[in-house]
């Protein structure tokens, strides 16, 4: 009940329709109880008196009552269909919005399948509950109470026999509820796990095919599907048991009533019409009683679905201390002092779910990227480079220490403002199923929405397929900016060659493009808004040498006007930087120019030359041949 009561804020706007629908359903059900009374009058009156006119009239009245019952049930459906579809849509929209705002650490923990199943199956279950069990639990209880009162008024001793199983049935239902809710929760979680496997297999179909893993993948799927099947069978068994009790026990008592009733007629205590009315009312109560089994089961499923839905909704992102504060105006005095640029001060970071006794991923990072400077971040794989870059746009937040943009602590700025100032391109270039233009212009953020201070997402981030907002660039300049960004990403040629140019849809995750093409669009997206700060996580890794050289040449133009932190694995990318920071096991161990570090750091020499040798590109990257930036 507690779980289901939480639906009230969504149900409130449609409460009058829902209430009307319940009243209409009660009226419709009462029609079924009126019929036996008419029947009694018919049998004891016109039928006993052999009056054909009376029988015809009685028949017509019965027909009329039946038609009214059908119309009322139809009206009930009409009343609830649209409002409840709206409730489902509102809940889904709220869930989507909430999930979009939750921090990256939440998404690291939650599988996509669990989120998908909550946004689809669980919400459908809730709509079904509001449309059906909620109404009929009320309607059937009312019908049973009215029916019981009618039976008691017709013949109290027989009525007590019919109603005798009510108490034992309530006990059985309570026990059932306890077991069924456990199985229902397990089934819904297993559906979430299964959805994750299906989603992963579809997204990773190339890898599965490439490695011939379809059999093992199918086996993994089958195992999960069988587990779900077992849980569903358990649910069916529990429901079957309940239904067997609910169906058979009243039936036995019905049999007893018929025998006792016939004896009563024989002794002249009641009329045939009274017994007929009695039995017909008792039979009319059969469905309300029998339906309690599956109504309870559906309510249980709905309570589980509500729990799962609110589990996500109750997850709070970290509070945004900067939310609501006015962001300092760009170019304010602080930005011109010694604090200008991007500065890390004693930054320590540990992933939220990391065991407490493990060392932090970043341990006391002190680094200053001066305004207009490009700093390359070089380090062995897994040393924490990506993690460090993710802290700048506040995808994660430092465990301790601080990061400043032009002297302002990013924790005092609203997230939307941080992300307006900082643009990113990741090694894995994610595109959305939208056009090239929409994907690239995503990087042009709109001004933060009023009343949206705590959002984890920039206000201008569009949903996949929607038209992005581009607030900081005037509409007239948008075309030119798109052209410029595509030119820097060396993407103009291939975009022009696409069937509809920049208006071409790139398909789900941009899979219709090559890895290098996706990377170039992601780079264009990062530079499109002329960001003040640019964070690039090895953004050229998928490009061939010639394209990489062309992109680098164009990128120099952008980098000269921005403060940039660039994760570099290759000497050629290092060439873009003014200085290089060497990272080892979560610490910055050296900072200097490429030449200085080559001369002073054995680890740096190893990374620059060793990488080249294993990659077989020693001619390009041998330390002697890599020109100092
Ligand atoms: N979401 C996460 N949760 C927990 N630990 C993580 C998470 N992401 C990364 N790590 C751990 O943090 C460490 C640093 O990872 P990170 O991706 O920052 O390294 P990197 O230097 O960028 O590596 P690469 O050069 O291979 O991209 C690794 O040990 C990794 O296992």
Cα(425) to ligand 1 centroid in Å equals: 17
Minimum CA distance residue for ligand 1 atom 18: 384
* 533: CATH: 3.40.50.300
Are 152 and 85 contained in the same domain? Answer: yes
The backbone torsions φ and ψ at residue 451, rounded to the nearest 5 degrees and listed phi first, read 75, 20
Instruction: Look at residue 132 and tell me if it is in a domain.
Output: yes
Are 504 and 547 contained in the same domain? Answer: yes
361 lines ligand 1 (CB under 6 A): yes
* Contact between 18 and 26 (Cβ < 8 Å): no
What ipTM score was computed for the predicted complex, to two decimals? 0.94
Are 423 and 371 contained in the same domain? Answer: yes
Instruction: Look at residue 223 and tell me if it is in a domain.
Output: no
Say which DSSP state 505 is in: B
Are 297 and 354 contained in the same domain? Answer: no
* 147: CATH: 1.20.1560.10
46/270 Cα distance (integer angstroms): 18
Q: What is the pLDDT of residue 327?
A: 53
Mean pLDDT of 321-349: 67
Count how many domains the chain has: 2
β-pairing, 579-584 vs 422-425, is unpaired
24/79 Cα distance (integer angstroms): 9
Are 514 and 617 contained in the same domain? Answer: yes
Residue whose token pair is 């007929």: 276
Instruction: Look at residue 177 and tell me if it is in a domain.
Output: yes
417/448 Cα distance (integer angstroms): 7
Minimum CA distance residue for ligand 1 atom 5: 351
Containing structural domain, residue 307: 2-184+239-313
Are 290 and 344 contained in the same domain? Answer: no
390 lines ligand 1 (CB under 6 A): no
Which residue, 263, 298, 313, sits at the end of a domain?
Answer: 313
428 lines ligand 1 (CB under 6 A): no
Q: Which residues of 166-175 are buried (b: 16+ CB within 10 A; e: fewer)?
A: eeebeebbee
Mean pLDDT of 381-395: 90
Instruction: Look at residue 428 and tell me if it is in a domain.
Output: yes
Question: Using one digit for the tens of pLDDT, what is the confidence trace for 64-121?
Answer: 989 999 999 899 889 888 898 899 999 999 999 998 888 888 888 888 888 888 898 8
- pTM for the predicted model, two decimal places: 0.67
Q: What is the pLDDT of residue 617?
A: 40
What six digits make up the tokens of 421?
């100032």
Q: With a cut of 60, say whether residue 597 has pLDDT above it.
A: yes
Are 305 and 376 contained in the same domain? Answer: no
Cβ-based burial of 178 (10 A; exposed 0-12, middle 13-18, buried ≥19): exposed
Q: With a cut of 50, say whether residue 567 has pLDDT above it.
A: yes
Are 54 and 155 contained in the same domain? Answer: yes
Instruction: Look at residue 323 and tell me if it is in a domain.
Output: no
Question: Using one digit for the tens of pLDDT, what is the confidence trace for 116-159?
Answer: 888 988 999 899 998 888 888 888 888 888 888 988 888 888 88
**Structure confidence at residue 426 as a pLDDT band (50, 70, 90):** confident
Which residue, 313, 346, 379, sits at the end of a domain?
Answer: 313
Are 301 and 350 contained in the same domain? Answer: no
Q: With a cut of 50, say whether residue 452 has pLDDT above it.
A: no
Are 278 and 422 contained in the same domain? Answer: no
User: Which of 104, 108, 377, 382 should be mutated for ligand 1, with most atoms under 8 A from CB?
Assistant: 382
Minimum CA distance residue for ligand 1 atom 3: 351
Closest Cα partner for 432 from 464, 463, 399, 390? 464
Closest Cα partner for 418 from 397, 440, 443, 392? 392
395 lines ligand 1 (CB under 6 A): no
What is the position in ligand 1's atom list of the atom closest to the CA of 427?
27
Count Cβ atoms below 10 Å from residue 269 Cβ, excluding itself.
12
285/160 Cα distance (integer angstroms): 14
Cα(387) to ligand 1 centroid in Å equals: 6
568 lines ligand 1 (CB under 6 A): no
β-pairing, 374-379 vs 579-584, is parallel
Cα(383) to ligand 1 centroid in Å equals: 7
223 lines ligand 1 (CB under 6 A): no
Cα(515) to ligand 1 centroid in Å equals: 22
384 lines ligand 1 (CB under 6 A): yes
Instruction: Look at residue 332 and tell me if it is in a domain.
Output: no
Are 581 and 444 contained in the same domain? Answer: yes
485/530 Cα distance (integer angstroms): 9
Q: What is the pLDDT of residue 96?
A: 92
Instruction: Look at residue 430 and tell me if it is in a domain.
Output: yes
Q: What is the pLDDT of residue 448?
A: 43
Instruction: Supply angle C-alpha 585, 109, 394, rounded to 5.
Output: 60
What is the position in ligand 1's atom list of the atom closest to the CA of 379?
21
Minimum CA distance residue for ligand 1 atom 2: 351
Q: What is the pLDDT of residue 46?
A: 84
Q: Largest Cα–Cα distance in the chain?
A: 120
**Structure confidence at residue 551 as a pLDDT band (50, 70, 90):** confident
220/223 Cα distance (integer angstroms): 5
Are 306 and 356 contained in the same domain? Answer: no
Minimum CA distance residue for ligand 1 atom 23: 382
- Round the average pLDDT of the chain to a whole number and report it: 81
383 lines ligand 1 (CB under 6 A): yes
Instruction: Look at residue 230 and tell me if it is in a domain.
Output: no
Which residue, 298, 313, 328, sits at the end of a domain?
Answer: 313
44/52 Cα distance (integer angstroms): 13
Cα 38 to Cα 91, 276, 287, 420, 448: the distances in Å are 46, 11, 20, 75, 69
Question: Using one digit for the tens of pLDDT, what is the confidence trace for 253-269?
Answer: 888 888 888 888 888 88
Minimum CA distance residue for ligand 1 atom 31: 382
* Contact between 442 and 525 (Cβ < 8 Å): yes
DSSP H or E stretch at residue 367 = strand 362-369
């Amino acid at each position: 009940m507690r779980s289901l009561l939480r639906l009230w804020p969504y149900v409130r706007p449609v409460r009058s329709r829902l209430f009307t629908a319940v009243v209409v359903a009660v009226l419709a059900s009462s029609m079924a109880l009126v019929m036996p009374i008419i029947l009694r009058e018919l049998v004891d009156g016109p039928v006993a008196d052999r009056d054909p006119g009376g029988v015809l009239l009685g028949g017509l009245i019965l027909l009329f009552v039946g038609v009214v019952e059908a119309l009322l049930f139809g009206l009930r459906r009409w009343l609830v269909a649209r409002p409840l579809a709206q409730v489902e849509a509102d809940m889904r929209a709220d869930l989507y919005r909430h999930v979009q705002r939750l921090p990256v650490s939440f998404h690291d923990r939650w599988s996509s399948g669990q989120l998908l199943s909550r946004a689809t199956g669980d919400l459908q279950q809730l709509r079904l509950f509001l449309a059906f069990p909620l109404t009929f639990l009320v309607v059937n209880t009312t019908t049973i109470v009215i029916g019981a009162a009618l039976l008691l008024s017709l013949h109290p001793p027989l009525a007590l026999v019919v109603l005798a199983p009510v108490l034992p049935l309530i006990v059985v239902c309570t026990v059932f509820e306890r077991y069924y809710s456990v199985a229902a929760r397990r089934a819904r979680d297993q559906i979430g796990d299964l959805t994750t496997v299906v989603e992963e297999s579809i997204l990773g179909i190339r890898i599965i095919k490439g490695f011939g893993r379809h059999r093992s993948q199918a086996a993994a799927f089958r195992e999960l599907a069988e587990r779900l099947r077992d849980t569903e069978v358990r649910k069916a068994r529990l429901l079957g048991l309940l239904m067997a009790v609910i169906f058979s026990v009243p039936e036995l008592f019905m049999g007893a009533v018929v025998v006792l009733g016939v004896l009563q007629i024989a002794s002249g205590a009641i009329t045939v019409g009274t017994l007929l009315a009695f039995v017909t009312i008792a039979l009319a109560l059969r469905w309300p009683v029998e339906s309690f089994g599956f109504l309870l089961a559906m309510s249980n499923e709905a309570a589980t679905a509500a729990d799962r839905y609110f589990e996500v909704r109750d997850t709070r992102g970290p509070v945004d201390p900067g939310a609501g504060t006015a962001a300092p105006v760009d170019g304010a005095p602080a930005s011109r002092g010694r604090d200008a640029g991007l500065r890390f001060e004693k930054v320590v970071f540990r992933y939220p779910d990391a065991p407490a006794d493990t060392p932090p991923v970043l341990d006391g990072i002190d680094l200053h990227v001066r305004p207009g400077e490009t700093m390359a971040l070089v380090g062995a794989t897994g040393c924490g480079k990506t993690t460090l870059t993710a802290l700048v746009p506040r995808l994660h937040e430092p465990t301790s220490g601080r990061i400043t943009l032009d002297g302002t602590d990013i924790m005092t700025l609203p997230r939307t403002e941080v992300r307006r100032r900082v643009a990113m391109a990741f090694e894995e270039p994610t595109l959305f199923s939208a056009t090239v233009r929409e994907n690239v212009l995503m990087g042009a953020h709109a001004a933060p929405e009023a009343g949206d201070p705590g959002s984890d997402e920039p206000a201008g981030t569009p949903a996949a397929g929607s038209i992005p907002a581009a607030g900081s660039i005037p509409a007239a300049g948008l075309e030119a900016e798109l052209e410029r960004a595509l030119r820097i990403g060396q993407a103009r040629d291939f975009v022009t060659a696409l069937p509809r140019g920049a208006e071409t849809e790139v398909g789900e995750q941009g899979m219709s493009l090559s890895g290098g093409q996706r990377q170039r669009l992601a780079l264009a997206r990062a530079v499109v808004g002329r960001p003040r700060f640019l964070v690039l996580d090895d953004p050229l890794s998928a490009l061939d040498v010639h394209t990489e050289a062309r992109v680098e040449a164009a990128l120099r133009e952008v980098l000269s006007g921005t403060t940039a932190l660039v994760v570099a694995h290759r000497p050629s990318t290092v060439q873009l930087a003014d200085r290089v920071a060497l990272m080892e096991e979560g610490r910055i161990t050296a900072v200097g120019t490429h030449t200085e570090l080559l001369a002073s750091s054995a680890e740096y020499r190893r990374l620059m030359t060793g990488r080249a040798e294993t990659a077989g590109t020693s001619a390009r990257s041998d330390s002697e041949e890599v020109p100092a930036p």
